A and B are shown apart, each in its own frame.
Chain A
Amino acid sequence: MANETEIDAEVRRGWMSLLAKAPESALMALWGEVSERPAFEWLRAPEVGGVMVRGRMGGTGAAFNLGEMTVTRCSLVLADGTVGHGYVQGRSKPKAEAAALIDALMQTGAAASVRAVVLDPLAGQMRAAKAARAAKAAATKVEFFTMVRGED
């Protein structure tokens, strides 16, 4: 088992953020390709709840409460004592479970293969989807031109 303090918080933040935002179907399809499923016990079984999202007045000012969003969370521990947490958008308990298991595996020797099979392809799909939207937005950018006014 890897010592949790050895895991760079910024790196862990990266995969947890990716898992939280991933479309459920994409994540579950890639997770299905991971053959080795470790045994685990729940520290906290998946639970659906809400978080209050905040905004800033004027985009930059003091905070205000904008409204809630649904989140599902769970925590589990592998046989070797590694703890994994899942915090994902929406109400899918299977997605939260997969996220927590991946979070745990990423702290073990299986990290490289989980990254190659699940995280990297997932990040690639999400980047491509984002780029496709940005490309459509770019095509709707207005190109101004000045009319010849014929006043001279």
Chain B
Amino acid sequence: MYVAVKGGETAIENAHAWLAEERRGDTDVAELSLAQIREQLGLAVNRVMAEGSLYDPDLAALAIKQARGDLIEAIFLIRAYRTTLPRFGYTQPVETGEMACDRRISATFKDAPGGQVLGPTFDYTHRLLDFKLAAEGEVPPAAAAEPREERTPHISEFLQGEDIIQSEPESDAVPGDLTREPMEFPSNRPLRLQSLTRGDEGFVLGMAYSTQRGYARNHAFVGELRIGKVAVEMEVPELGFAIEIGEIELTECETVNQFKGSKTEPPQFTRGYGLVFGQSERKSIAMALVDRALRWEELGEDDLGAPAQDEEFVLSHADNIQATGFLEHIKLPHYVDFQSELELVRKLRREAEARVASGADVPEAAE
């Protein structure tokens, strides 16, 4: 018989002290600074900001250090910190058309104004380990050319002119905020986008990939992918006008999807949209594909029963902090729960054995 007991304080304390020691690792090796993490593991920092849903590179670097590089643990730390912050307000929507682009490519238009700007990309590298990085060394400076002064227009503007792509009308509708009210179904596109942009990269990637493999295929082209900085503007009540309160790096992906038309819509191109904190290219493309798949109902498409069309399935499982919280809780003490399960199975076993002994109806399947 198990009974509820207290205890373990010393064990827990000692475990945490050992954790701190293991986190530090071999003290003959120099300790990592937050600036090193921020500057040299920038894409990990970006992922923690995106899924932690808080743009602050220094905090994300601290979380990564504290979590020993476990990014989901780091995201958990950021989400927990986020809840302690007073909310000063909501910004005006960022204008990605004004982005200072580090990278801007289109898979649909070769000669778009502004051109194909590769930026600091892994694309076209050979994915061979570079053993030179194992040694310290100077990096030769990157090449420079005449900088572009004018704004870089969105590629979709060109299709819009021909009225052959679904438009995205501007609106002043106030979007729901899932950090304030729990998600309810059926949901709507603003809430889906908020959920996807902070969703687990691996999960959103898997969902997007499933559409490419045929589960609600939506024939996506990357109409445009851009990475760069945008200013963030907010109305400040004390002033009575809006000021820029900062600048953030974003990755935006707009897909152009083939669409034969439906009962309600003429043949045209449709759109999927991804917008993610930081340089998060894979995530933003995946987000755009899943966004498009989830729009089946508004476009009058058939429900094919595909997982990526099921918003309740996608949105309820995209959040890695909810998921890991529920998953990992089963390792914590369940002594009393398990004791009752044990009693139940013993009782069933006794009854089954009694039936066998008496020669009564033994079910075939039990053999």
Chain A residues with CB under 8 A of B147: 131, 134-135, 137-138
- Set B50, B234, B243: member contacting A67, Cβ < 8 A: B50
Chain A residues with CB under 8 A of B168: 56-62
The minimal Cβ–Cβ distance linking A82 to chain B, given in whole angstroms, is: 14
Looking at chain B's contact residues, the main secondary structure is mixed
Chain A residues with CB under 8 A of B101: 137
Query: In residues 86-113 of chain B, which contact A (Cβ within 8 Å)?
Result: 86-97, 100-103, 110-111
Chain A residues with CB under 8 A of B171: 61-63
Contact of B53 with A68 in the complex, beta carbons under 8 Å: yes
Chain B residues with CB under 8 A of A130: 100
Chain A residues with CB under 8 A of B178: 65
Given A50-B87, A55-B94, A141-B116, A66:B194 Cβ within 8 A: yes
Nearest CB in chain A to that of B104: its residue: A137
Interface residues on B, range: 35 or more
Given A21-B244, A140-B117, A60:B234 Cβ within 8 A: no
Query: In residues 242-297 of chain B, which contact A (Cβ within 8 Å)?
Result: 242-248, 250, 252, 254, 271, 273, 275, 277
Contact of A142 with B97 in the complex, beta carbons under 8 Å: no
The minimal Cβ–Cβ distance linking A124 to chain B, given in whole angstroms, is: 16
Chain B residues with CB under 8 A of A61: 168-171
Contact of B87 with A58 in the complex, beta carbons under 8 Å: no
Contact of B144 with A13 in the complex, beta carbons under 8 Å: no
Contact of B142 with A20 in the complex, beta carbons under 8 Å: no
Chain A residues with CB under 8 A of B273: 57-59
The minimal Cβ–Cβ distance linking B246 to chain A, given in whole angstroms, is: 3
B56 close to A (CB within 8 Å): yes
Chain B residues with CB under 8 A of A68: 53-55, 82, 85, 87, 179
A39 close to B (CB within 8 Å): no
Chain A residues with CB under 8 A of B148: 134, 137-138
A91 to B58 alpha-carbon distance, docked (Å): 9
A65 to B91 alpha-carbon distance, docked (Å): 9
Chain A residues with CB under 8 A of B271: 58
The minimal Cβ–Cβ distance linking A135 to chain B, given in whole angstroms, is: 4
A58 to B255 alpha-carbon distance, docked (Å): 9
B59 close to A (CB within 8 Å): yes
The minimal Cβ–Cβ distance linking A99 to chain B, given in whole angstroms, is: 11
Contact of B90 with A71 in the complex, beta carbons under 8 Å: no
Query: In residues 6-24 of chain B, which contact A (Cβ within 8 Å)?
Result: none
Contact of B54 with A67 in the complex, beta carbons under 8 Å: yes
B143 close to A (CB within 8 Å): yes
Could you give, for residues 1-37 of chain A, a 1 whenever the CB lies within 8 Å of some chain B CB and a 0 otherwise? Answer: 0000000010011001100110000000000000000
The minimal Cβ–Cβ distance linking B212 to chain A, given in whole angstroms, is: 21
Contact of A139 with B142 in the complex, beta carbons under 8 Å: yes
A95 to B40 alpha-carbon distance, docked (Å): 25
A89 close to B (CB within 8 Å): yes
A48 close to B (CB within 8 Å): yes
Chain B residues with CB under 8 A of A88: 245-246
Nearest CB in chain A to that of B248: its residue: A69
- Set A20, A51, A55, A132: member contacting B89, Cβ < 8 A: A51
A96 to B248 alpha-carbon distance, docked (Å): 18
The minimal Cβ–Cβ distance linking A11 to chain B, given in whole angstroms, is: 11
Given A65-B90, A137-B101, A138-B148, A13:B243 Cβ within 8 A: yes
Interface pairs (26), CB distance under 8 Å: A9-B240, A16-B244, A17-B244, A50-B86, A50-B87, A51-B91, A54-B94, A56-B96, A57-B189, A58-B168, A61-B170, A62-B169, A63-B175, A63-B190, A64-B193, A65-B190, A68-B53, A68-B179, A69-B246, A75-B238, A85-B236, A89-B232, A91-B56, A131-B147, A138-B147, A142-B118
Interface of B toward A, CB cutoff 8 Å: 49-50, 53-56, 58-59, 82, 85-97, 100-103, 110-111, 115-121, 142-148, 154, 156, 168-171, 173-179, 189-191, 193-194, 197-198, 231-232, 234, 236, 238-248, 250, 252, 254, 271, 273, 275, 277
Q: Which 5 A-B pairs have the closest CB atoms?
A: A89-B246, A58-B168, A61-B168, A134-B147, A17-B244
